[in-house]
Amino acid sequence: MLFCALPPRCHNEEISLIHPNRLPALTMNKLRSALTMLGIVISVASVIATVAIGSGATQRIQDQIASIGSNIIMVIPGSRTSSGMHLGAGNAMTLSEADARELVARCPDVALAAPMVRGGGQAVYGNNNCATIIYGVTPDYLAIRDFSVADGAEFTQQDVDGANKVALLGKTVVDDLFGDAEPVGQVIRIKDVPFTVVGVLTPKGQSSQGQDQDDVILLPISTAKRKVIGINSANADAVNSIMMQAKSGDQIPASQEEAVALLRQRHHLQPAETDNFTVRNLQEVFAAQEPSSGIMAMMLAAVASVSLVVGGIGIMNIMLISVRERTREI
């Protein structure tokens, strides 16, 4: 009822306060208008930056998982004890190529299993050389890791069976040895053994631990054992690890259980004995990084909240000054 009792002139004046013709009033107090806009811009920008950084951290973890491969399960040898000292997992050669074959043949939820040996070495081409990581693998390893070849071709199972001296090079190794030259078809030397470069791997970038995934040479596992890494002839079937791929993400837990049961049976472990191997789901490893990303996002949100409060107080003070200046006119 009070609003209805106001004279029409006052109502028209209220409308005129927001009329576009009043906009030039902003230019009468340029500093004040600029400070108000700055408060709004900083507040909004802080929120946008917080959301972007949080989303970027989550995407980074997802990209790292994708760069390694999908539905991957790692099997590494168990620990051993020397002079009463526990040396940790991976220090005993308790896995074999036969284990990998049986995992595929007898575990319904396992799609692929690739045995792997690993070592370091110096690669030489002409006057160039580089120290790199050398993996002896099978073609299934390339499929599990989602490795593709940017130039040339992959080696085949025939290369593994025949222990052929062929190599796939990562992009970092290619840059160090060849520069701008064409590497495919060239011969490099690894520990004085000549290898023909059959392909160059598509770049994958860094892993979650900061390791360069392109600083690598892949060889047929049989060739790597005999010519480069040197597995003990008494245990020629031994491998450093086995990389498995479940048929789907939902089947990863079942694949782990099947792998543990089969390997315990093959290694003749009694119920009271501990496993002489370790089965790890890589998704669980990356999931451990998510709390860190969450904490970082919360800290950034707190900073953005402070920016919003400070910006709001600044805008409020400027508006209060404007109102007090025009109190008599109002």
| Residues 188 and 203 grouped into a single domain | yes
Q: Structural domain tally of the chain?
A: 2
Do 216 and 106 belong together in one domain?
yes
Is residue 19 assigned to a domain? no
Say yes or no: 137 and 58 in one domain: no
**Residue 294 and residue 271 share a domain:** no
Residues in the chain: 330
- Gap between the Cα atoms of 40 and 128, Å rounded: 57
Same domain as 320, residue 259: no
Residues 221-233: tens digit of each pLDDT: 999 998 888 766 5
- Tell me whether residue 10 is in a domain: no
Residue 301 lies in a domain: yes
The model's confidence at residue 211, banded by pLDDT at 50, 70 and 90, is confident
Spatial separation of the C-alpha atoms in residues 110 and 230, rounded to whole Å? 29
One domain, residues 215 and 313:
no
Q: In this structure, are 192 and 299 located in the same domain?
A: no
Radius of gyration of the chain (CA): 32
pLDDT value for 78 = 75
One domain, residues 113 and 146: yes
Domain presence at residue 5 = no
- Label residue 118 by pLDDT band (50, 70, 90): very high
Quick check: 315 and 57 in contact, CB under 8 A?
no
Instruction: Give the range among 136-140, 203-207, 303-307 with minimum mean pLDDT.
Output: 303-307
Q: What is the pLDDT of residue 14?
A: 45
In a domain, 76, yes or no: yes
* 126 and 214, same domain (yes or no): yes
Per-residue pLDDT band for 86 (boundaries 50, 70, 90) equals very low
- The residue ranking higher by pLDDT, 312 or 293, is 312
Task: Flag whether 12 is in a domain.
Answer: no
270, 295: one domain: no
* Angle (nearest 5°) at CA 245 between 242 and 250: 135
Please report the pLDDT score of residue 34 as a whole number: 77
| pLDDT, the chain, mean | 79
Same structural domain for residues 52 and 169?
Answer: no
Do both 180 and 270 map to the same domain?
yes
Range of the domain at 49: 25-64+290-325
Region 172-183 average pLDDT: 92
Between residues 242 and 18, the one the model is more confident about: 242
List all residues 6 or more positions away from 175 whose beta carbon is below 8 Å from its beta carbon.
Answer: none
- The answer to which of 40-44, 197-201, 249-253 has the lowest mean pLDDT is 40-44
Tell me, yes or no, whether 9 lies in a domain. no
Does 2 fall in a domain?
Answer: no
